[in-house]
Amino acid sequence: MPLQSQRRFRYAVLSIALSLVVLGLKTWAYFLTGSVALRSDAVESIVNVLGACFALAAVMIAARPPDENHPYGHGKIEFFAATFEGALISLASVYILIEATLALVEGPQLRELDLGLVVSSVAGALNGATGLVLLRVGRATRSKALEADGHHVIADFWTSVGVILGLLLVNFTGWDLLDPLMGVVVALLLMRTGYRILKDASGALLDEEDPALLRDILAAVNTWPIDEICGLHRLRAMRAGAFAHVDVHLIVPEYMDVLEAHKQVHRFSDAMLATTKLHGEWHTHFEPCRRRYCVECPVGDCPIRTAAFVARRKLSVLEATDPKENFPGVGVAVSEK
């Protein structure tokens, strides 16, 4: 298993272990207090455990290399894991909303709030630290499953903060109805989190454009590490979990033979992967310059040059992703997407 995959695996296991500890603490806090809001918080932690288990399975499957049936690898399983977690969060929010509404009608019965608040505060602090670590590792390793898990745990932390503040108000004011009202707030916050995770994951499954990935690639492209590449267009990029697939049309001097052009294109692709530190592959199609790129082509011994080299042009995302060639000097919008 690659080092990056091993790191994702370790943190997925850690997420399960800590989720179980937090679930135990929140369940204890609920039984101590009888609080509807704390029960809602505990229900969300059950979802955390299930989501963490699914994230672990997704990380393990995503680490498998491409095979005959999956030539593009298994990375998209991470988006399914994120979708699963988003769906669980949404279902939990509906359940919590129903329970909180019933408690508003029937009236809550609270007890031992002081000890329950201490236990819940410990669980919330542990959740906050766990969520920050998962987000950092998920972004660093480009694991959508860990990132979704991190977003969920952070959301759980903030709902715990809200629950604790609500119960402190109950303790000071004696107004018990604040407890189920806080349960309603928790449910609405969870609905928002579930929707965001589902939206991001479904977009990735449908190969929605990833603006951040395109910007990272274009920042590397604009360093132009290989002089023999005159320009590019039709840049497309997508993620399959932590694996990136990039397609691009590269422009090479028209006097080059196929063998030399193929060599330069591979040099450029390897340089891009190294610069962006992407785990993935570049698919390239090369086209002749047709003597239209001379002013920004630095090749010194070009036998067909029709104009002197002036400077390299930094491409915008709009130009790079355009399916048509954008020749130097042609009026093309250069604003970023």
Q: Sort strands 243-252 and 231-240 into parallel, antiparallel or unpaired.
A: antiparallel
- Structure confidence at residue 252 (pLDDT): 92
Q: How far apart are the first and last CA of the chain?
A: 37
Whether 129 is covered by a domain: the verdict is yes
Provide, rounded to the nearest whole percent, the portion of the chain with pLDDT above 90.
5
- 141/218 same-domain check: no
pLDDT, one tens digit per residue, over 302-321 is 889 888 888 888 888 888 88
- 168/69 same-domain check: yes
pLDDT, one tens digit per residue, over 59-108 is 788 778 778 888 777 778 878 888 887 888 888 788 878 877 877 777 66
- 270/193 same-domain check: no
pLDDT, one tens digit per residue, over 160-182 is 787 777 778 777 777 777 777 87
Alpha-carbon span 231 to 234, nearest angstrom:
11
In this prediction, residues 36-62 reach a mean pLDDT of 80
The CATH code of the domain that includes 177 is: 1.20.1510.10
pLDDT, one tens digit per residue, over 225-262 is 888 888 888 999 887 766 788 899 999 999 999 999 99
pTM: 0.63
- Structure confidence at residue 34 (pLDDT): 79
The total number of structural domains in the chain stands at: 2
- C-alpha to C-alpha distances, 309 to 289, 298, 305, 315, 326, nearest whole angstrom: 14, 6, 9, 17, 17
Whether 124 is covered by a domain: the verdict is yes
Q: In what order do the strands lie in the sheet with 231-240?
A: 231-240, 243-252, 280-288
The label of the residue with tokens 């979708």 reads 83
- Structure confidence at residue 148 (pLDDT): 75
At residue 273, does pLDDT exceed 50?
Answer: yes
In contact, 141 and 242? CB cutoff 8 Å: yes
- Structure confidence at residue 288 (pLDDT): 92
- 139/19 same-domain check: yes
In this prediction, residues 13-24 reach a mean pLDDT of 87
Range of the domain at 278: 211-321
pLDDT, one tens digit per residue, over 108-119 is 666 666 777 788
The CATH code of the domain that includes 306 is: 3.30.70.1350
- Structure confidence at residue 250 (pLDDT): 92
Task: Collapse the DSSP code of 235 into the 3-class scheme (helix H, G, I; strand E, B; otherwise coil) and give the result.
Answer: strand
- 28/131 same-domain check: yes
At residue 335, does pLDDT exceed 60?
Answer: no
- Structure confidence at residue 258 (pLDDT): 92
Higher pLDDT, 219 or 4: 219
